[in-house]
Amino acid sequence: MGKSDAVIIGAGPSGLYLARELSKVMNITIFEEDKMLGVPPHCTGLVNINSLETLGISPPIVSTYRYIRITDLGGNSITFDFRRGAIAMLDRPGLEHYLADELGSATLLLGERVIELGNGVIRTKSREETFNLAVIAEGAGLTLTRNVIPWNPNYVYGVQTDTKSFAENKLMPRSDDEIVVIFDRKLLEHYFAWIVPKGSHEFRIGLADEANVWAKFTELLKVINAEHLKPFGGKIVIGGSPDHVAAGNVAVIGDAGGFVKPMTGGGIIMGMLSARLLADSMINALRERLSISDSLVIYDTVFRRYVRERIKALSSASYILHMMMNKSLGEVLQSMSGTRIDVEDYDNHIDAILKAALRRPWSFIRRFSPLLMNYR
Ligand SMILES: Cc1cc2nc3c(=O)[nH]c(=O)nc-3n(C[C@H](O)[C@H](O)[C@H](O)COP(=O)(O)OP(=O)(O)OC[C@H]3O[C@@H](n4cnc5c(N)ncnc54)[C@H](O)[C@@H]3O)c2cc1C
C-alpha cells in the first residue's frame, strides 16, 4: 500500500492546478481515469485572457476574440465589444499538458479510476494508497462527491465539434475575432448555441440544452451548412451550490464543487480559482502549524462566507435572464438589434447583459417586469 500526504482525484484543470500549487509543500499523487490527459476534448475552452494572468499561467491559446454577437435565427442581434478584456480559446488538451509539465514533485497516475474513497484510504482496481488529505476534482459527474458532500446541481448537456463551413448567412461570424451565440426557441428550449471561428473557415460549433441535444445539434449544423463530424461533449453544471466544500479530511474543487459561471457553465477559471483558494488555505495553515483538518475548515469557511452566496446570486440572476430570453428574446433582439455594447470582463456575463438592458431601460422593464413578478 502506497502513502501520500495528499491524493487528488481527477487531472482536469482544477486537479492539475491544485497539484502544481500544493506540490511545493507536500507529497501529492493525482489519479486520472483516462489514459491520456485532456482527451476527449469536451470543452470549448473560452476564458478571459486577464484571468490567466491572475492565475499566473500561460497555457497555449488557439485564438483570441474581441466580439460576442448574440443573435436569433433571423439575424436580430446585439454585439458585445470586449475591447479591454480579450477572450481566448485555450487549447484544452494543451492546458492540461501545460499544467502537467509544472507538477514539480507530484506523481500523476493515468488510467487509474478511483472506485472507493474513505477512512484515509483510496482505491483503484490495481492500487491502494493511504492519505492525510483527499481532494475530489472529478468534474461534473459527482460520483465520489455525492458520498462526501451530497448536493444536486442544475445541469445542461453540451455537444460540440470542430468543423468547416463556407456558409455566408447572418449566423456566421463576420470576422475571425467574433463569436456568435444563438438564442432562439425554434432551435433550443432553454440554453444556447455557439459558433467560434478558428480561421480558414474552421469553426468550433456547439450547443447546450436540457434535452434532445443531438437532434438540435444536427439541426444547427444543417442551418449553417457545416460538415457533421464526430461531436464530443458532456454534462455542464449551470447552478446550485453545495452547503460545504470540505468534510473531515476531504475537500471538493472545480465543477464537482459547483465552481462555475452559472450563465454559461464556464468552469475552467473558476475551477482553478477554487484550487488556488484551497492551496492558499493549506499553505498558510501549514505555515502556522495548523492541522490539515483545520486548513480545510478555513477553505470551507472562506467558501461559505465569500463564494457560495455570490454563486447562488449569480445562479438566480442567470435563471431569470435565461427565462426572460426564452420568453421574449425575439422581441428584445428586434428592439435592440444592431446595438453595440462595450464590456470589460468576459468572465462576468451577467453584468454585461444588465449593461445591455440599461441601454433601453423602459423597453427592458416593460417586457420583463411580469416575469420578474412571477419569479420565486
Ligand atoms: C461542451 C462543453 C463546452 C464547455 N465550454 C467551456 C468554455 O468555453 N469555457 C469554460 O470555462 N468552461 C467550459 N466548459 C466547462 C468546463 O469544461 C469545466 O468547467 C471544466 O473542465 C472543469 O474542470 P474540472 O477540472 O473541475 O473538471 P474536468 O475538466 O471535468 O476534469 C475532471 C477529471 O477527473 C477525471 N475523473 C473523474 N472521475 C474520476 C475517478 N473516479 N477517478 C479518476 N479520475 C476521474 C476525469 O476523467 C477528468 O479528467 C464546457 C463544458 C462542456 C461540456
Per-residue pLDDT tens for 200-219?
A: 899 999 999 999 999 999 99
**233 CA distance to ligand 1 centroid (A)?**
10
Lowest mean pLDDT among 60-69, 147-156, 298-307: 298-307
Q: List pLDDT tens digits, range 310-363.
A: 787 777 777 776 666 655 566 666 666 666 767 666 666 555 555 554 555 445
Question: Do 17 and 275 contact (CB within 8 A), yes or no?
Answer: yes
pLDDT of res. 191: 86
Q: List pLDDT tens digits, range 234-259.
A: 999 988 889 999 999 999 999 999 99
What is the band of 263 on the pLDDT scale with cuts at 50, 70, 90? Answer: confident
pLDDT of res. 350: 54
**What are the φ/ψ torsions at residue 329 (nearest 5 degrees)?**
-60, -40
Q: Does domain 63-86+154-237+327-374 have CATH number 3.30.9.10?
A: yes
Between the alpha carbon of residue 139 and those of residues 128, 219, 263, 310, the distances in Å are 22, 29, 18, 21
Q: Does the pLDDT at position 295 exceed 90? A: no
Q: Does the pLDDT at position 280 exceed 50? A: yes
Give the fold, CATH level 3, of 2-39+92-151+244-320.
FAD/NAD(P)-binding domain (3.50.50)
Greater model confidence, 316 or 265 = 265
Using most ligand atoms within 8 A of CB, pick from 99, 261, 268, 278 the residue to mutate for ligand 1: 268
What string of DSSP letters covers 262-287?
Answer: TTTTB-HHHHHHHHHHHHHHHHHHHH
> Could you count the other beta carbons within 10 Å of the beta carbon of residue 155?
18
Cα separation, 344 vs 349, in Å, equals 10
What is the band of 290 on the pLDDT scale with cuts at 50, 70, 90? Answer: confident
Which segments of the chain belong to CATH 3.30.9.10? 63-86+154-237+327-374
Question: Do 95 and 231 contact (CB within 8 A), yes or no?
Answer: no
What string of DSSP letters covers 132-169?
Answer: EEEEE--GGG-TTHHHHS----EEEEEEEEEEEB---S
* Averaged pLDDT, 47-64: 93
Using most ligand atoms within 8 A of CB, pick from 9, 20, 35, 43 the residue to mutate for ligand 1: 43
pLDDT of res. 364: 45
Residue among 69, 53, 62 nearest 89 (CA): 62
Grid cell for residue 363: 423597453
> Could you count the other beta carbons within 10 Å of the beta carbon of residue 171?
22
CA nearest ligand 1 atom 51, residue: 43
The pTM score is 0.90
Cα separation, 141 vs 145, in Å, equals 9
Which segments of the chain belong to CATH 3.50.50.60? 2-39+92-151+244-320
Q: What value does the CA radius of gyration of the chain take, rounded to a whole number of Å?
A: 21
**What are the φ/ψ torsions at residue 74 (nearest 5 degrees)?**
-80, -5
Which residues, judged by CB distance below 6 Å to any ligand atom, belong to the binding site of ligand 1?
A: 9-15, 31-34, 42-47, 113-114, 137-139, 141, 144, 158, 160, 206, 233-234, 236, 254-255, 260, 265-269, 271
pLDDT of res. 172: 94
Mean residue pLDDT across the chain: 86
Using most ligand atoms within 8 A of CB, pick from 89, 159, 236 the residue to mutate for ligand 1: 236
What is the band of 374 on the pLDDT scale with cuts at 50, 70, 90? Answer: very low
Q: List pLDDT tens digits, range 36-55.
A: 998 877 799 999 998 898 89
